């Protein structure tokens, strides 16, 4: 798969295909934690995102699949034996579109408002990457020309492996005309209210569900400090969204 983490598309023992990010990926081990935590946040906010799982690689699987590797500067390295992060592949290859054309196709995205919700999440979680999404024909979509947007690739929340908040109006919004219906800050409800009252216990529980191998070293203390900052910034999210309007690339053309 494309991207700096060098994820691989793998069919698991349950017969389903997952986009798998390795624990020893070239970006940072914390990328897996970021993905897991963001998935829990998006689901709590009611934003469509693929199912996530913990994927286990045995030594035999790694040995029998030499094409499974990470490309480093001067060499290839196999994935670590053990647990990795998996995100359910969103649909079949011939169902997925990655760059819909502006006006004709955006009107066919059934859950277009999810882009407002995910911007709330991205601003709160300090996503330093461009928002990624895929578009698939879903089982609940009756028109053959309608699509559901699924939010993917959340490794760069919390500024990736740095676990800090580097806020910038240029970061977060999806690069497409998905915000044309936005006329004011009220378009970002009910997600702003949901983030403002987000339960800390949900985040703590999600972290405790992670494999022990992902929580080594100073990860426990680092995450505790991160959660404290995250809770304190809940009320700032509306201001962070409004700040996007001051940029030449204002994503809200109809917000006056």
Chain centroid offset of residue 228 CA:
21
Q: Which residues of the chain have pLDDT under 50?
A: 93-94, 96-97, 99, 101-102
Q: Bridge-partner residues for 151, per DSSP?
A: 133
Q: What is the pLDDT of residues 63-103, one digit of tens each?
A: 999 999 999 988 999 999 999 999 999 866 445 445 454 45
- For 188, half-sphere exposure in the C-beta direction (CA atoms, 13 angstrom radius) is 24
pLDDT of amino acid 142: 63
Give CA–CA dist 26/22, Å, rounded. Answer: 9
pLDDT in the model for residue 90: 82
pLDDT of residue 179: 95
Q: What are the C-alpha distances in Å from 241 to residues 43, 115, 252? A: 21, 12, 10
Q: Record the pTM.
A: 0.92
Report pLDDT for 1: 87
What is the per-residue pLDDT for 243?
Answer: 95
Helix (H) or strand (E) holding 71: strand 70-71
Domain ranges of the chain: 8-246
Exposure class string for 164-177: b at 16+ Cβ within 10 A, else e: ebeeebebbbbebe
How far is the CA of 162 from the CAs of 26, 110, 217, 222, in angstroms? 14, 35, 15, 10
């Amino acid at each position: 798969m494309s991207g700096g983490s060098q994820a691989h598309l793998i069919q698991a023992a349950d017969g389903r295909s997952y986009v798998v990010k390795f624990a020893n990926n070239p970006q940072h081990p914390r990328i897996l934690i970021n993905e897991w935590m963001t998935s829990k946040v998006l689901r709590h906010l009611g934003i469509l995102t693929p199912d996530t799982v913990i994927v286990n690689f045995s030594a035999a699987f790694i040995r029998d699949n030499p094409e499974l590797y990470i490309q480093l500067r001067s060499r290839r390295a196999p994935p670590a034996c053990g647990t990795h992060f998996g995100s359910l592949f969103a649909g079949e290859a011939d169902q997925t579109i990655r760059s819909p054309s502006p006006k004709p196709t955006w009107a066919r995205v059934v859950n277009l408002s999810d882009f407002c919700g995910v911007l709330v999440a991205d601003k709160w979680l300090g996503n330093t990457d461009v928002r990624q999404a895929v578009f698939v024909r879903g089982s609940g979509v009756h028109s053959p020309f309608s699509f559901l947007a699924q939010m993917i690739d959340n490794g760069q929340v919390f500024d990736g492996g740095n676990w800090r908040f580097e806020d910038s109006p240029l970061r977060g919004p999806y690069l497409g005309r998905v915000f044309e219906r936005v006329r004011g800050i009220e378009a970002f409800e009910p997600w702003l209210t949901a983030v403002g009252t987000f339960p800390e216990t949900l985040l703590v529980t999600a972290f405790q569900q992670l494999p022990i191998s992902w929580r080594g070293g100073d990860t426990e203390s680092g995450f505790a400090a991160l959660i404290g900052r995250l809770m304190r910034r809940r009320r700032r999210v509306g201001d962070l969204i409004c700040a996007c309007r001051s940029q030449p690339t204002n994503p809200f053309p109809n917000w006056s």
